[in-house]
Structure 1
């Protein structure tokens, strides 16, 4: 039996970074689990006295297909390339002749939102970094 997965991304400012990832993935804020009416209530239920997190963001794919994404606040800086990265696949539905155009449009949108281009592999993919430096690919 296959299991579902969720992804956790360490970052300094989860709620700010969540806006970038909602744009990148077409995701929405994940509502709190029942019986909670707010995320704050849910967090308060599970917070420990030594928990130093004061920010977090929970996102989900509104179509229910993609994994959930939890942006988790950490205090330590990012020191090296992460070993797992996301591939934001935007061109799969496009006709072959338009795929690179679709990729370039998404890259431009994400640069406008604070991302940066790390490397370009024409007609295949673009390596990017989000506003906190986490690498991902647009293809």
Structure 2
């Protein structure tokens, strides 16, 4: 897997937010290092105290195409709008802006993600720019469903 690009998100609960993003992106938990059956075995062998096992969490594209998403625990909460956000397409549909939007598909996917903990911020329908829905993950990080 190409590691030139890794996206890092700060989180209060890396494992929970990582599970949300795994569902959004169709990703899976990053497998433990060779020689270990589970991350718990790995962290125990490394001597990391159990209360620190949720300090970080990573998910990966099972096809090895997309970037790794690494979530790291931070003490502070999100206070301002993201300076960077992800545009996420519908499962099985390439992510792009332009062309005829699948409004019904995007709305249906947004509703699914809301059940998982996303918050809908706004719907944008602009003749020039296209159609998308702005959402926030369970910890307030914005992303666009396109």
With the length of structure 2 as denominator, give the TM-score of the two structures: 0.77
Is the 8 Å Cα contact of residues 5 and 68 (structure 1) preserved in structure 2? yes
Secondary structure at the counterpart of residue 33 of structure 1: coil
Q: Identify which of 132, 138, 141 aligns with 1:131.
A: 138
Q: CA deviation at 1:43?
A: 4.5
Q: Which residue of 1 aligns with 2:11?
A: 11
Output the CA distance in 2 between the equivalents of 1:71 and 1:42.
18
Q: Which residue of 1 aligns with 2:102?
A: 99
Unaligned runs of 5+ in 1: none
Output the CA distance in 1 between the equivalents of 2:131 and 2:116.
22
With the length of structure 1 as denominator, give the TM-score of the two structures: 0.81
Q: Write the deviation string for residues 66-97 of structure 1: whole angstroms up to 9, x where unpaired.
A: 1111111111111112211111111438xx66
Is the 8 Å Cα contact of residues 92 and 99 (structure 1) preserved in structure 2? no
Secondary structure at the counterpart of residue 102 of structure 1: helix
Instruction: Provide runs of 4+ in structure 1 moved above 4 Å.
Output: 41-44
Q: Which residue of 2 aligns with 1:37?
A: 37
Output the CA distance in 2 between the equivalents of 1:3 and 1:29.
16
Unaligned runs of 5+ in 2: none
Q: In the comparison of the two structures, how many residue pairs are matched?
A: 133
Q: CA deviation at 1:64?
A: 1.2
Matches within 5 A, 1:28-107: 28-43=28-43, 45=46, 53-55=52-54, 56-90=56-90, 91-92=93-94, 99-107=102-110
